[in-house]
Structure 1
Amino acid sequence: MTELIKQLLADGPVILDGAWGTQLQQRGLSSGDCPDEWNLSHAEQVECVPRAYVEAGSQVVLTNTFRSNRLALDGYGLSAQVQAINRAAAEISLRAAGDLAIVFGSIGPSGKMLMTGEVSESELDAAFSEQAAALASAGVAAILVETMSDLAEAKLALAAAKRTGLPVVVSMVFDSGKELDRTMMGDTAEKVATELTVAGADVVGANCGQGIESYVGVCQQLHRATDLPIWIKANAGVPQICDGEVVYRTSAEEFAKHGPALVQAGAKFVGGCCGTGPEFIQALRKSVRG
């Protein structure tokens, strides 16, 4: 276990941040806009998000870089802005965190399918290496590889992030199979935890995909398969379409009441994903840390 992870865990479960996309939408981001480009054009608005989470009690906040690898940014015509977007994002979150929280750099999926040949392993490695290096040079304390559905892609991102020398968390999406405990590719939580542990992850976990109550079982499976700390960031329930808009029905109080069960199942890092906000983090912190 790295010294940073050890220090974070010394005082009990670590409270993470919540969703970013929905928070930026509340501040004016349109559905067709690239959220990550706002690091350059709307820095003050972006900074409001991690600042609100820190004020709510988050001990770790992310960077607004979920789509900031070259392959994903190319869909917005922004592939030439990789360095600038990642660096600006790190500076924004570091300012907001101050001395009250730690900043983990977010790396999301490429948006390309490895198994169909839409992208090659070498292209993924180059894209993830470029982003990880940009985040590391900008001063983040660790890297989070998140919302991954393909274990092969996740391991490539992990290898690229590990070359920075920083601690690396890898978080997969489990929303498939009869029990909703498999990735889109059909991998079980046990398989994911085992392979990511062997591949050198410092923390493994799950995010997005489903609500917090469903991730208790996934957390147990991950915990059984590895000695590494477990990271869980669940959605505010399963999204529903209401009048053409995505709506999350779970309240902050309902979300937070499942926090202790997650911790009992083995979670060491807990936070929120889609549909959650500062009020969710505040309630979660109260439920698991008192």
Structure 2
Amino acid sequence: MTAVANPLADLLAEKGVLLADGATGTNLFAMGLEAGEAPELWNETYPERITKLHQDFVDAGADIILTNTFGGTRHRMKLHHAQDRVHSLNKTAAEIARAVADKAGRKVIVAGSVGPTGELLIPLGAMTYEEAVASFAEQMEGLKAGGADVAWIETMSSPDEIRAAAEAAIKTGLPYTYTGSFDTAGKTMMGLHPRDIHGVSSDVGEGPIAVGANCGVGASDILSSLLDMTGADPSATVIVKGNCGIPEYRGAEIHYSGTPPLMADYARLARDAGARIIGGCCGTSCDHLAAMRQALDEHTPGPRPTLEMIVEKIGPLRNKTADESGAQPARERRRRG
């Protein structure tokens, strides 16, 4: 067994199901973040706002808070002339989250958010696999120094990039999770099917603590992906962190259709579909999260939902399912799983 401390696995064993936090970007925009501004720079310029965001999520009942470091690799920070501050920005972000978690009065996990680099790996792009590992490791060293419990690799499209980030986590001495964004006809942009998420880095270190899906399109779609993931491996610890309903453009602004009652339904369906870590992505406020907390706390387990049940409760799918032939083969495959 590895000697790496694993507070996330410990809390999962203790509580069974965990609530992850809501949206970082949506809520920072509400606090004044401008389009094109790097949220990560706010860790230094407005630490009190980042503290408030984490505190609000903890007050709403989150068991896991994600650091404000989604774009914290040198490739992303270079766009803001901050590539030389990767370690300090990530360390500061983790310290802010750690301080909130430590005074929560209960166990709260600090997850070091690690998003994609924005670069394509060879042969599609110029970045080598080794460069990707080094870039992620640089970010994770900062997150670990600031007190992150786990490397939370998220919104990924490329299996190779997931593996590179997983290798970086092992090099850094952090346990890790990863999630894909199934936003292209039910698969990731690079063609990864939800049912194949489990094997992407199962041989890297001790393997991931949990895998799953975040972001994507609407809440119904991510629940469809969840059925594929839990159907493929019912014993896996699966994360689902869906957008708040469906994104809709109103003029130049994006609004999300999800109400707190709808997100409560989403949380119950996610639980019945086998998710063990349930949170919200874009559009998810503290009010939504509080409704999800109550829903999970009061939930009486129900039958595994069908796509029809999901659509009836949450609304229509925005995408084709990953199998592109409608719901029937997906349901048959889930029964086999």
Q: TM-score scaled by structure 2?
A: 0.82
Aligned pair count reads 287
How far 1:249 moved relative to its partner?
A: 1.3
What is the correspondence of 1:10-159 to structure 2 with a 5 Å cutoff? 10-100=14-104, 101-114=108-121, 115-159=123-167
Q: Is contact 1:132–1:143 with CA below 8 Å preserved after alignment?
A: yes
1:222 maps to 2:225:
no
Q: 2:6 touches 2:175 (CA, 8 Å); kept in 1?
A: no
Instruction: Give the root-mean-square deviation of aligned CA atoms.
Output: 1.6
* Identical positions, percent: 33
Match for 2:219 among 181, 192, 212?
212
Displacement of 1:28 after TM fit? 1.0
Moved more, 86-95 or 219-228: 219-228
Counterparts of 2:220 and 2:295 in 1: how far apart (Å)?
14
3-state SS of paired residue (1:33): coil
2:245 corresponds, among 212, 237, 241, to: 237
Aligned to 1:8: 11
SS at match of 1:281: helix
User: Quick check: 62-71 or 232-241, which moved more?
Assistant: 232-241
Residue 270, structure 1, aligned to residue 278, structure 2: yes
SS in 2 for 1:28: coil
1:284 match: 292
Deviations 1:127-157 (A, max 9, x none): 1011111111221111100010111111111
How big is the shift at 1:8? Answer: 1.4
State the distance in 2 between where 1:197 and 1:8 align: 21
1:13 touches 1:289 (CA, 8 Å); kept in 2?
A: no
What CA deviation, in whole Å up to 9, does each residue of 1:239-280 have, x standing for no partner? 121111111111121121121211111100000000001111
Are 1:67 and 1:110, in contact at CA under 8 Å, matched by a contact in 2? yes
SS in 1 for 2:217: strand
Are the equivalent residues in 2 in contact too, given 1:197–1:228 (CA < 8 A)?
no
**Deviation readout 1:38-97 (Å, 9 max, x if unpaired):** 101111111111110000000110100001111111111110110110011011111122
Kindly name which structure, 1 or 2, has the bigger radius of gyration based on alpha carbons.
Answer: 2
Farther-moved stretch of structure 1 (274-283 vs 7-16): 7-16
**SS at 2:270 equivalent:** helix
Instruction: Return 5+ residue gaps in structure 1 as ranges.
Output: none
In 1, the alpha carbon distance for the partners of 2:6 and 2:68 equals 25
TM-score, normalising length: structure 1: 0.94
Give the distance between the partners of 1:133 and 1:3, measured in 2 at CA.
Answer: 17
SS of the residue corresponding to residue 163 of structure 1 reads: helix
Deviation at 1:99, TM superposition (A): 4.1
> C-alpha separation between the residues in 1 aligned to 2:231 and 2:202?
12
Query: Structure 2: which 5+ residue stretches go unaligned?
Result: 299-337
